[in-house]
């Protein structure tokens, strides 16, 4: 950094001496050092964060508390003097692109262009990544050719240029003009002019300041703006200390300590042990003016000790500076602790691995144009329009791939928002605060609600149910504060897609008859109601198995839990009780199928999933449990990777590096878990209560789904299972396993007569599956009419008699291969047109009994259909599908498109399944 001491004059001389062609080469092939830094202020509300922010950016300090609604980003308002190593406030506009270019001592370093460069892919998210670049001129293959270049003067907005094209459907302020074309000539002139006006500015590195609102409502949205570059100042009120319950939080039991711990986890969850110790976390206590100097000193030592006790054992404690609490008066710009803290912030900035990182100068023209648009009040722009603006830079136009690189890097440092996803890459949010305001429309604290009126009614309903109608969302966005950002339907639809991508909004359904637009959304992060005890009681010792994901040495950030619950809802439909979705604060209940319920809870360091059978845990299909585990594990891994990317980190870690998995059961009403690695080695384990648990049921979470036969040491079904009554689905799997060849002997061993067999054969000879199912139903009816229970033991005895006893081991198997196709859009009820087409086009075939069972209809309903439509196969199928679609039985789960697809696959109706997949655009 020695060059900084005499930087101004040499740069001025160098720029004057360069002829036009030399300067063009500098822009095309050169690099400059980038000094990007961010300071984040976080902590409880009403402690002085905004007052400290005002001091750091040189604005008037507020005298009364005005709570921050969401967050505020002060771009380029906090500077670091690189010569004096001091932090100073900056006026608006001080941190412009040309200032940063001058500060970076631009140099021409000709290097060969990078050939065959490829971006590293993360499984499941191939296009939303970009490596952490170590920039050099090799990253600038969008430079000029060797042909003689025509140098044009800079076109200004005052020269009669046309306004921004409305091809983007994005309304812009009336005075916004076409962004100027930045040529080598114009950039060189602007740089010289800037130097003449004041060379002192070249020694100041502008940095950003982010002021986070303290309300819990913002936990989800705050996470999107947390990055690894910069320093977090976690603040609390020194008068109240760390463990006083804060009255500002009506939910109770909230202390400064709990909020600071939440922030530590939100920031460090996505870090890992490396030499890079960014981000760094400082602590500041406010209201020091309420104490004498001696009292301040004693309290500061106390706070240091308490913070050391809280965080010294944290896995990533190197990031946490808990040994030095800055005890300040956040309303006094001359406070000495604030000065000490500023010096510490500067020292940290200089230690960043990205400090002085090389950036390609060829990006500067496009960066300047975006800066011009931002200054004109433009919030969003289409990608198509940006590419047109880029082309106007003539010889300095980047190719499209380099434009993407530029956008992704700008996204990674928080300068704009660009999501390289198929449905999202058409727009760029060039003003990130616009997204903050968009979110504020519905993710906000009750203190910011209007006192009455339709907006308050919408927010009250959303807070209590987690449900937001699309029309209500657009009503919220029509308020004056948001109307100028979301100016047309196309822009609103884009923002909806972004919020769906971020899992802030969740679609519980999409397809409704011929309308493919969602009419309502779920918003998990806004729900405040906790899961009722009566629903928690469904989790019982004898009916439940559980699996837990234990984030290593950190509590689960609430944003992560909201996103995981949102991902689960897109696979399994939410349970509905008393006309209300079972969506709660950090918990959700879903229907896995007709007989099983899935609950997800976030409890401290664990995310726990409970699978509850309506009769016994012994009847939970291992295929269902394993498929559920695979979906949750994949979703959690992708979410962790997603937030690491938001955070500015690339991750190459295996799932096992991110979390541990435990499996278990319920013991005396409480969760009893064992590490999965240990469960695989043991037949049983002893829990804290001294009870012996078998590992067989919990290991169903990791069952080998391709396994078709039993191991040589298999002892068959457990005693607890043999006394239970098989349901219709068990008969389906048993019939599938036995086959028609062995069925006669098995049927006779069950105690049935040959005449019974012949009668069944006469009626159902055309379909062996239906024939065997009706035989098993008849056996069950006969047994129970004799006042006995039809049990698995009786079936086992008959199988043993024909030397097929291990067929019973397959009775809980199910086909869940379609779960990979599960999507929120498949959770609506199929249309009448689809039901009619399946029968009119004869796409299902002769499988009446089997189809009815797979749809979840009772045998009584199936027999009724066969009686009402004798010898009419299409009529029978149509009646079954209609009954299923309109069924309102208590135990019936929602008849969705996805469940119809599963039923068609299981009855091997390939034509029908392909028709449904094509209709609903399932790949």
pLDDT in tens, 510-533: 333 333 345 777 777 777 777 887
Residue pLDDT, tens place only, 341-389: 999 999 998 888 778 777 777 777 788 888 888 878 888 888 999 998 8
Query: What average pLDDT score do residues 86-102 get?
Result: 64
781's enclosing H/E stretch is: helix 768-785
Query: What average pLDDT score do residues 149-158 get?
Result: 32
Among residues 227, 231, 205, the alpha carbon closest in space to that of 352 is found at 231
Instruction: Give the Cα separation of 105 and 706 in Å (integer).
Output: 62
Residue pLDDT, tens place only, 808-854: 877 777 777 777 676 666 777 888 999 999 988 999 988 899 999 99
Query: What average pLDDT score do residues 578-590 get?
Result: 83
Torsion sign (Cα): 711, 713, 719, 722: positive
How high is the pLDDT of residue 336? 93
Measured from the Cβ of residue 568, the count of other Cβ atoms closer than 10 Å reads: 22
Instruction: Give the Cα separation of 157 and 112 in Å (integer).
Output: 37
* CB burial of residue 148 (10 Å; 0-12, 13-18, 19+): exposed
Among residues 257, 122, 265, 234, the alpha carbon closest in space to that of 552 is found at 265
Angle between helix axes 768-785 and 728-749 (nearest 10 degrees) is 80
**What DSSP letter does each residue of 386-411 carry, written as one string?**
HHHHHHTTGGGPPPHHHHHHHHHHHH
pTM: 0.59
* CB burial of residue 132 (10 Å; 0-12, 13-18, 19+): middle
Alpha-carbon distances, residue 133 vs 61, 111, 142, 413, 641 (angstroms) = 39, 16, 16, 12, 18
pLDDT beyond 50 at 127: no
How high is the pLDDT of residue 161? 32
How high is the pLDDT of residue 286? 93
How high is the pLDDT of residue 270? 57
584 forms beta bridges with: 587
**Confidence tier at 145 by pLDDT (50, 70, 90):** very low
Among residues 588, 565, 562, the alpha carbon closest in space to that of 575 is found at 588
How high is the pLDDT of residue 7? 39
Q: What's the CA dihedral at 801, 804, 809, 811 to 10 degrees?
A: -90
Edge-first strand order for the sheet with 320-327 is 86-89, 71-81, 204-212, 38-42, 231-237, 280-286, 320-327
**Confidence tier at 135 by pLDDT (50, 70, 90):** very low
Q: Which tokens in the block code for residue 36?
A: 């990007």
Instruction: Give the Cα separation of 127 and 411 in Å (integer).
Output: 14
pLDDT beyond 60 at 654: no
pLDDT beyond 90 at 302: yes
Torsion sign (Cα): 63, 68, 69, 74: positive
Measured from the Cβ of residue 221, the count of other Cβ atoms closer than 10 Å reads: 23
Among residues 518, 640, 692, the alpha carbon closest in space to that of 268 is found at 640
Instruction: Give the Cα separation of 203 and 200 in Å (integer).
Output: 6
How high is the pLDDT of residue 475? 84
Instruction: Give the Cα separation of 494 and 508 in Å (integer).
Output: 19
Contact 442, 473 (CB under 8 A): yes
How high is the pLDDT of residue 274? 64
How high is the pLDDT of residue 193? 57
Angle between helix axes 728-749 and 754-764 (nearest 10 degrees) is 130
Looking at residue 290, the DSSP 8-state letter turns out to be G
Contact 330, 342 (CB under 8 A): no
**Where are the extended beta strands (E) located within 48-89?**
71-81, 86-89
Q: Give the residue, 600 or 149, on which the prediction is more confident.
A: 600
Instruction: Give the Cα separation of 559 and 679 in Å (integer).
Output: 30
How high is the pLDDT of residue 180? 60
Instruction: Give the Cα separation of 410 and 97 in Å (integer).
Output: 13
What domains sit in the chain, N to C, each tagged with a CATH number?
1-35+79-204+355-425 (no CATH), 441-522 (no CATH), 533-702 (no CATH), 719-810 (1.10.533.10), 817-919 (1.10.533.10)
Instruction: Give the Cα separation of 782 and 784 in Å (integer).
Output: 6
Residue pLDDT, tens place only, 267-283: 776 566 666 677 889 99
Instruction: Give the Cα separation of 626 and 842 in Å (integer).
Output: 34
Tracing tokens 């006192």 back to the chain, one arrives at: 451
Query: What average pLDDT score do residues 173-186 get?
Result: 54
Instruction: Give the Cα separation of 44 and 209 in Å (integer).
Output: 17
Residue pLDDT, tens place only, 231-244: 899 999 999 999 99
Alpha-carbon distances, residue 306 vs 262, 368, 910 (angstroms) = 16, 48, 65
**Confidence tier at 42 by pLDDT (50, 70, 90):** confident
**What DSSP letter does each residue of 309-326 carry, written as one string?**
HHHTTSTTGGGEEEEEEE
Instruction: Give the Cα separation of 454 and 460 in Å (integer).
Output: 10
Q: What is the SS3 assignment for 13? A: helix
How high is the pLDDT of residue 188? 52
Contact 157, 174 (CB under 8 A): no
**Confidence tier at 99 by pLDDT (50, 70, 90):** low
pLDDT beyond 70 at 867: yes
Among residues 437, 441, 432, the alpha carbon closest in space to that of 379 is found at 432
Contact 539, 596 (CB under 8 A): no
Q: Give the residue, 266 or 873, on which the prediction is more confident.
A: 873
Among residues 634, 554, 632, 560, the alpha carbon closest in space to that of 272 is found at 554
How high is the pLDDT of residue 123? 33
Q: What is the SS3 assignment for 825? A: helix
**Confidence tier at 555 by pLDDT (50, 70, 90):** low
Q: Give the residue, 804 or 147, on which the prediction is more confident.
A: 804
* CB burial of residue 800 (10 Å; 0-12, 13-18, 19+): middle
Residues 6+ apart with CB under 8 A from 757: 744, 747, 748, 775
Looking at residue 125, the DSSP 8-state letter turns out to be B
Residue pLDDT, tens place only, 440-499: 777 766 666 777 778 788 887 777 777 888 888 888 888 887 777 777 888 888 888 888
Q: Which tokens in the block code for residue 833?
A: 């047109």
What is the rounded average pLDDT for all residues in the chain? 76
417 forms beta bridges with: 429
Q: What is the SS3 assignment for 272? A: coil
């Amino acid at each position: 950094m020695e060059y900084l001491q005499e930087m101004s004059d040499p740069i001025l001389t160098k720029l004057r001496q360069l002829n036009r062609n030399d300067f063009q080469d500098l822009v095309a092939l050169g690099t400059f050092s980038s000094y990007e830094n961010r300071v984040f202020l976080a902590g409880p509300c009403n402690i002085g964060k905004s007052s400290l922010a005002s001091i750091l950016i040189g604005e008037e300090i507020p005298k009364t508390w005005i709570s921050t609604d969401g967050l505020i980003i002060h771009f380029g308002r906090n500077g670091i003097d690189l010569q004096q190593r001091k932090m100073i406030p900056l006026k608006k506009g001080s941190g412009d692109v040309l200032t940063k270019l001058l500060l970076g001592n631009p140099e021409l370093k000709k290097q060969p262009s990078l050939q065959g460069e490829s971006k590293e892919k993360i499984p499941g998210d191939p296009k939303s990544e970009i490596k952490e670049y170590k920039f050099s001129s090799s990253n600038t293959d969008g430079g000029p050719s060797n042909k003689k270049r025509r140098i044009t003067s800079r076109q200004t907005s005052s020269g009669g240029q046309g306004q921004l094209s409305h091809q983007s459907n994005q309304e812009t302020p009336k005075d916004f003009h076409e962004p100027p074309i930045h040529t080598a000539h114009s950039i060189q002139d602007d740089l010289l002019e800037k130097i003449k006006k004041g060379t002192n500015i070249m020694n100041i590195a502008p940095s950003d300041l982010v002021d986070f609102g303290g309300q819990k409502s913002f936990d989800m949205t705050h996470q999107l703006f947390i990055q690894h570059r910069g320093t977090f100042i976690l603040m609390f009120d020194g008068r109240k200390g760390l463990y006083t319950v804060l009255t500002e939080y009506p939910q109770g039991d909230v202390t400064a300590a709990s909020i600071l711990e939440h922030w530590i986890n939100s920031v460090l969850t996505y870090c890992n042990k490396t030499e890079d110790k960014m981000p760094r976390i400082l602590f500041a206590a406010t209201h020091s003016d309420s104490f004498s100097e001696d009292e301040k000193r004693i309290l500061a030592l106390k706070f240091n000790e308490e913070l050391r006790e809280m965080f010294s054992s944290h896995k990533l404690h190197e990031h946490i500076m808990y040994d030095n609490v800055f005890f300040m008066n956040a309303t006094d710009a001359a406070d000495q602790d604030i000065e000490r803290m500023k010096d510490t912030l500067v020292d940290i900035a200089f230690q960043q691995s990205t400090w002085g990182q090389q950036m390609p100068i060829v990006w500067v023209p496009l960066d300047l144009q975006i800066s011009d648009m931002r200054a004109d009040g433009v919030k969003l722009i289409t990608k198509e329009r940006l590419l047109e603006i880029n082309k106007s830079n003539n010889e300095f136009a980047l190719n499209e791939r380099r434009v993407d690189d530029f956008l992704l890097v700008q996204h990674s440092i928080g300068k704009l928002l660009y999501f390289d996803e198929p449905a999202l890459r058409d727009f760029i949010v060039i003003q990130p605060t616009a997204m903050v305001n968009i979110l504020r429309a519905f993710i906000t604290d009750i203190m910011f609600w209007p006192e009455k009126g339709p907006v308050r009614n919408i927010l009250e309903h959303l807070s209590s149910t987690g449900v937001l109608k699309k029309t209500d969302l657009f009503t919220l966005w029509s308020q004056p504060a948001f109307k100028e950002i979301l100016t047309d339907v196309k822009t609103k639809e884009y923002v909806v897609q972004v919020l769906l991508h971020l899992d802030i909004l969740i679609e519980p359904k999409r397809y409704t008859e011929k309308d493919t637009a969602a009419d309502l959304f779920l918003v998990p992060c806004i729900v405040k109601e906790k899961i009722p005890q009566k629903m928690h009681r469904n989790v019982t010792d004898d009916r439940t198995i559980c699996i837990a994901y234990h984030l290593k040495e950190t509590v689960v950030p609430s944003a992560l839990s909201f996103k995981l619950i949102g991902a689960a809802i897109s696979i399994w439909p939410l349970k509905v009780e008393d006309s209300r979705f079972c969506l709660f604060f950090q918990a959700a209940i879903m229907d896995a199928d007709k007989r099983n319920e899935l609950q997800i809870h976030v409890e401290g360091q664990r995310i726990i999933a409970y699978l509850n059978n309506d009769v016994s845990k012994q009847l939970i299909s291992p295929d269902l449990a394993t498929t559920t585990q695979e979906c949750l594990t994949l979703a959690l891994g992708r979410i962790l990777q997603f937030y690491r990317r938001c955070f500015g980190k690339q991750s190459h870690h295996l799932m096992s590096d991110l979390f541990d998995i435990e499996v278990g059961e319920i013991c005396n009403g409480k969760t009893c878990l064992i590490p999965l690695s240990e469960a695989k080695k043991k037949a049983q384990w002893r829990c804290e209560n001294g009870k012996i648990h078998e590992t067989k049921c919990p290991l169903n979470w990791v069952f080998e789904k391709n396994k078709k036969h039993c191991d040589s040491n298999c002892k068959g079904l457990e005693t607890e299972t043999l006394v239970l009554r098989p349901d219709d689905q068990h008969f389906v799997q048993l019939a599938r396993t036995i086959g028609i060849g062995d069925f006669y002997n098995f049927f006779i061993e069950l105690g049935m007569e040959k005449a019974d067999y012949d009668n069944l054969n006469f009626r159902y000879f055309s379909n062996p599956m239906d024939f065997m199912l009706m035989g098993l139903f008849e056996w069950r009816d006969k047994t129970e009419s004799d006042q006995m229970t039809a049990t698995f033991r009786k079936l086992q005895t008959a199988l043993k008699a024909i030397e097929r006893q291990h067929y019973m081991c397959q009775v809980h198997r199910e086909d869940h291969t379609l779960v990979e196709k599960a999507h929120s859009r498949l959770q609506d009820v199929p249309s009448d047109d689809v039901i009619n087409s399946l029968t009119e086009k004869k796409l299902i075939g002769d499988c009446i009994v089997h189809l009815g069972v797979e749809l979840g209809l009772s045998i009584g309903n199936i027999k009724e259909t066969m009686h009402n439509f004798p010898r009419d196969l299409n009529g029978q199928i149509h009646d079954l599908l209609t009954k299923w679609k309109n069924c309102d039985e208590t135990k019936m789960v929602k008849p969705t498109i996805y469940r119809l697809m599963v039923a068609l696959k299981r009855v091997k109706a390939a034509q029908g399944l392909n028709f449904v997949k094509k209709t609903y655009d399932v790949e």
